[in-house]
Structure 1
Amino acid sequence: MIHWAFIAALAATPSPPQSAPGPQDPPEAATTLEDVVVEQPRLEEMVREFIGEVGAPAARRGLARWHDRLCVGVVNVRRELGRAIADRVSQVALELGLDIGEPGCRANVFIVFADDGAALADAMVEESRRAFRIGVGGLDRGSAALEEFRTVDRPVRWWHISLPVNADTGQRAIRLPGDEGAPRINMFAASRLSTQIRDDLKKTMIIVDIDRLGDVNLAQLADYLAFVSLVQVDPNADTAAYDTVLNLFDDPAGVEGLTEWDASYLTSLYQIQDSPVLRRNSGGQTSVIAADMVRDRREAGEAAPAQTPPEAD
């Protein structure tokens, strides 16, 4: 049974009206404030900082995205709730141009609900460690990140597996355990700015700890799961300065779901990965994704928020 409640919005209680000062009240003295200079950070800087904070590619690789048909599986929750979550993740993926598998397809996004997320994660890694660490570098975030995945308490935890592939053929570009020989790739060009090799997401494993969801409702949770299903996200990212669904568990009342900022990041990542430019180099990816996000935000008329001036001593 689901242990979290759907919280109805509470109507704000109006403040009592202020009474006018009586004739016996002395007039308030005027206060002269010194000029306050508010420095507004450039939008480009904010975007770059967000990408650097959130992005969590596999070791020595660039940011990965889905190219395969997406199939979402949700287990250990009532069927209608699981279907609602799978539908929402699939809807966001469709908006990014991805193909979605038919009902009954073999899941490559696994979302598992549990009463004790850490215990389940530990058991899964203990039983099938090779499913998380395949034994080849550059497919995941490494042993330290896996140890954190299985031990740290979080409402939601995730693990991504990615794979370098030939962008022209879709065939994998590295040798895996059990292969008789290394893949051969006919290079059409050599460039420091582009490569035939791209990084594809192949599997996302997510564990939702029911007892830690607090006041989060189903719609909010589904949007959060959509984001971490479709991009490689650092679970330790500090996103308080940004308008993003990743702030959900720090501020459930202030986050409705995926934001315009989130949508811009998702769209920019998936667009740049479709071109041969800067597929692998993470620094180059950041520059191109940032430029695309900045253009999108400016077209939407969004200005970078002003920094709060320091308090006077």
Structure 2
Amino acid sequence: MLSFATLAMMAVLSTEADANAALSARTLTQPVVTQDLQANESIRLEDIEVTGRPLTTLIDTFVAEVAAPAGRRNLARWDEPICVAVVNLQDAPAQYIADRVYAVGADLGLCRGGRDCQPNVVIVASDEPDTLAQTMTARVPRSFRPGGSGMDRGNGALEAFKQSDDAVRWWTVSMPVDSMTGQRASRIPGECSGNCSVAGQFAPNIFMLASRVTTQIVDEIVKTVVILDIDKVAEVSSQQLVDYISMVVFAQIDPRADTSTYSSILNVFDTPYDATGLTQWDRAYLEGLYQAQRAQRGPAAARDEIANSIRRAHTRLSSVEE
């Protein structure tokens, strides 16, 4: 399986886009509508009925809407150090993107890779994103579909990635691992351990503790590629764009999720005035994901555990803000 360093080089060779102008600082101003009223004028407002939903229900619905795990696996998150490569941008905007992604990762307790680290997050800007996506997936297919069980969302999702017309598109590869040892729990075709002539050496050997409720196998994100349509991302500010990128890098987000009823950076390309960056809701989601123990065996129980962790994070952030 080729590394993402190779993938980044392929991206450089696949496009000539000069995207720097689109990432310059922009100021977005909200139009203000005023109305002059006479001092003795009175305004009658119609009765308004407000129907609220419990926070737990809102969180459960949000998780169900945005979460996009690989296959039938549980939600994955990063555990290893993050190494970001930003391609097809000049040094200043590329460094701005990388620094912000690293900063969000640090807030979640993630380490930054060293100077000579191999990129596991590749962010590519292009004025021909469809061509770029087709080229990258054709030249380095194993970087997108490694072939192991529970590592990606399948051919249908990959076709949607290649044909997407979104301003930002992304592809995430995750890996089932033994939380006790860090050992891979899914075999990649063509790889083996020990004597490759022995059939049993092709599958990882995991010592499992018997339990019907809990599991020691957890899912970790190992690679993410993000493609920016340089013409479309010009519609938002640099901070909005980079925080949007951070959200899809650090969580498995469904590109087709409808988050319009939530205050989230994920809505920025539809309603750019609603959020200048990661919202409290976004931060609670990420913090809850990265603080959850992830010890529940079934997908439903695992999501409930993460939802409860998100609720605690939301409560903490709300009290801090107050």
TM range (shorter): 0.7 to 0.9
Query: Which piece of structure 1 moves more, 41-50 or 192-201?
Result: 192-201
Q: Which residue of 2 aligns with 1:197?
A: 217
Query: Which piece of structure 1 moves more, 123-132 or 198-207?
Result: 123-132
Q: Which residue of 2 aligns with 1:229?
A: 249
Q: Which residue of 2 aligns with 1:18?
A: 37
Whole-Å separation in 1 of the counterparts to 2:46 and 2:244: 43
User: What secondary structure is seen at the aligned counterpart in 1 of 2:246?
Assistant: helix
2:271 to 251, 262, 266: 251
Alignment partner of 1:8 is 2:20:
no
Say which structure is richer in helix: 2
Q: Which residue of 1 aligns with 2:304?
A: 287
Contact 2:27 2:237 in 1 (8 A): no
Whole-Å separation in 1 of the counterparts to 2:267 and 2:51: 24
CA shift at 1:190, angstroms? 1.8
Alignment partner of 1:105 is 2:124:
no
Equivalent position amino acid for 1:69 in 2? P
Whole-Å separation in 1 of the counterparts to 2:45 and 2:287: 48
Whole-Å separation in 1 of the counterparts to 2:282 and 2:30: 28
Whole-Å separation in 2 of the counterparts to 1:11 and 1:174: 50
Contact 1:111 1:208 in 2 (8 A): yes
Q: Which residue of 1 aligns with 2:204?
A: 183
For the aligned residue pairs, the C-alpha RMSD in angstroms reads 2.2
Q: Which residue of 1 aligns with 2:262?
A: 242
User: What secondary structure is seen at the aligned counterpart in 2 of 1:254?
Assistant: coil
1:276–1:33 distance in 2 versus 1, CA, 3 Å: closer
| Equivalent residue runs for 1:151-166 within 5 Å | 151-166=163-178
Contact 2:100 2:243 in 1 (8 A): yes
Query: Which piece of structure 1 moves more, 139-148 or 281-290?
Result: 281-290
Whole-Å separation in 1 of the counterparts to 2:142 and 2:77: 22
Q: C-alpha offsets along residues 251-280 of structure 1, whole Å, 9 cap, x if unaligned?
A: 1122201011111111111111xx3621x5
1:14–1:139 distance in 2 versus 1, CA, 3 Å: closer
Whole-Å separation in 1 of the counterparts to 2:45 and 2:183: 69
| Equivalent residue runs for 1:111-190 within 5 Å | 111-178=123-190, 179=192, 180=196, 181=201, 182-187=203-208, 189-190=209-210
Equivalent position amino acid for 1:17 in 2? D
Q: Which residue of 1 aligns with 2:295?
A: 277
Q: C-alpha offsets along residues 15-66 of structure 1, whole Å, 9 cap, x if unaligned?
A: 3532346xxxxx98x97967x5533111111100000111000002111111
Identity %: 40
Whole-Å separation in 2 of the counterparts to 1:162 and 1:94: 20
Report how many aligned residue pairs link the two structures: 291
Whole-Å separation in 2 of the counterparts to 1:16 and 1:40: 30
Q: Which residue of 1 aligns with 2:7?
A: none
1:161–1:9 distance in 2 versus 1, CA, 3 Å: closer
Whole-Å separation in 1 of the counterparts to 2:30 and 2:314: 32
Q: Which residue of 1 aligns with 2:286?
A: 266
Equivalent position amino acid for 1:113 in 2? A
TM-score of the aligned structures, taking structure 2 as reference length? 0.84
1:227–1:32 distance in 2 versus 1, CA, 3 Å: closer
Equivalent position amino acid for 2:311 in 1? V
Contact 1:156 1:206 in 2 (8 A): yes
TM-score of the aligned structures, taking structure 1 as reference length? 0.86
Contact 1:69 1:98 in 2 (8 A): yes
Which structure would you say has the larger Rg?
1
CA shift at 1:221, angstroms? 0.9
1:227–1:33 distance in 2 versus 1, CA, 3 Å: closer
CA shift at 1:292, angstroms? 2.0
Q: Which residue of 1 aligns with 2:13?
A: none
Equivalent position amino acid for 1:290 in 2? A
Higher relative contact order (CA 8 A, sep 6+): 1
Q: Which residue of 1 aligns with 2:11?
A: none
